[in-house]
A and B are shown apart, each in its own frame.
Chain A
Amino acid sequence: MIIVPCVSADGKPTQSGIKTLTAIKNGASTPQTVSQQTGQPMFKVRSGLRELVNAGLVKQTENKYCLTEEGTKIIE
């Protein structure tokens, strides 16, 4: 069983997922800067980013993260 804290079973981001998406929208592009902006520990940010990438809400280029079109729509 795979548990996803940032994306719920219906594919929508959870509260911590929204926090992460908002941090990325506000310029955070690395796990460190997302952690600083959200106050979440690094382990949680790393696993959350992985799930948001798998859900197609965030895309990763090397170690930089940005919102996809779908991810942008969710927090607008």
Chain B
Amino acid sequence: MENQTNEIGFPLIGEKAPDFEAATTQGTLRLSDFEGSWLVLFSHPADFTPVCTTEFIAFSKIADDLKKRNTELLGLSVDSISSHIAWARNVEEKMGVKIPFPIIADLNKEVSQKFGMIHPGQSKTETVRCVFIIDPESKVRTILYYPLSTGRNMQEIIRIIDALQTTDKHKVATPANWNPGDPVVVPSPTTAEGAEERVKEDYDCKDWYLCFKKL
């Protein structure tokens, strides 16, 4: 079997996201301009395409919910500024939705290459559906990749941000299918003594390594 490798380099979870300066529909922006806010940096394959249009409408509809979470949106594709503006105007005119966030025109693929957004197995020219959730210190906290044919789930993006912010604030973890208000997971003890003490504590413990608490 042929040994396939890829040369896509991108920042991994826990690493600082590389800064960039890029032309956007709201002016020339740097990643560092977003410091102090959470950021959802996402790529889409192309303007004036059906799945991307449904996604942009959906992202626009969650923009206010994200603002409440101190989170900004920043889109990207390898189309031009003129194309982005024309598409945004078309979406507003035909679908009645104003796109409130900036969109990067990554014509030279500088940003998409830094973030591993082009997957040659899918397309050599278009970016795949990628989401980087970046925290206020510019650290990458979540990476999601979707194929060209599958639109993203906005509620999952909001859920991840809620989970990350809850984790940071309360030093806990969140279990499968967690939503705000659900019990959270208390980090497992790392010593035998800690394990013995854990089951005596006032948590809902299934065993020493799996304990829940309400916030």
Instruction: Flag if B33 contacts A46 (CB, 8 Å).
Output: yes
- Closest chain A CB from B29 CB (angstroms): 5
| Of B2-10, B20-28, B86-94, B182-190, the one touching chain A | B20-28
Task: Give the interface SS of chain B, mostly helix, strand, loop or mixed.
Answer: strand
Instruction: Flag if A42 contacts B27 (CB, 8 Å).
Output: no
Set of chain B residues within 8 Å of A3, measured between Cβ atoms? 23-25, 27-28, 81
Instruction: Flag if A43 contacts B37 (CB, 8 Å).
Output: yes
Number of inter-chain CB pairs below 8 Å: 43
Instruction: Flag if A42 contacts B36 (CB, 8 Å).
Output: yes
**A3–B84 alpha-carbon span in the complex (Å):** 13
Size category, B interface = 10 to 19
A41 touches which one: B25, B72, B81 (CB < 8 A)?
Answer: B72
Give the residue name and chain of the B residue nearest to A32 (CB).
Answer: B36
B29 touches which one: A1, A6, A47 (CB < 8 A)?
Answer: A47
- Closest chain A CB from B40 CB (angstroms): 13
List residues 18-50 of chain B with CB under 8 A from any CB of chain A. 23-30, 33-34, 36-37
B30 touches which one: A2, A41, A47, A51 (CB < 8 A)?
Answer: A47
Residues of A within 8 A of B (CB): 1-6, 41-44, 46-48, 50-51
Residues of B within 8 A of A (CB): 23-30, 33-34, 36-37, 72, 81, 102, 105
10 additional A-B residue pairs with CB within 8 Å, beyond A2-B28, A47-B33:
A3-B25, A4-B28, A5-B27, A6-B27, A41-B37, A42-B36, A42-B37, A44-B27, A47-B26, A50-B28
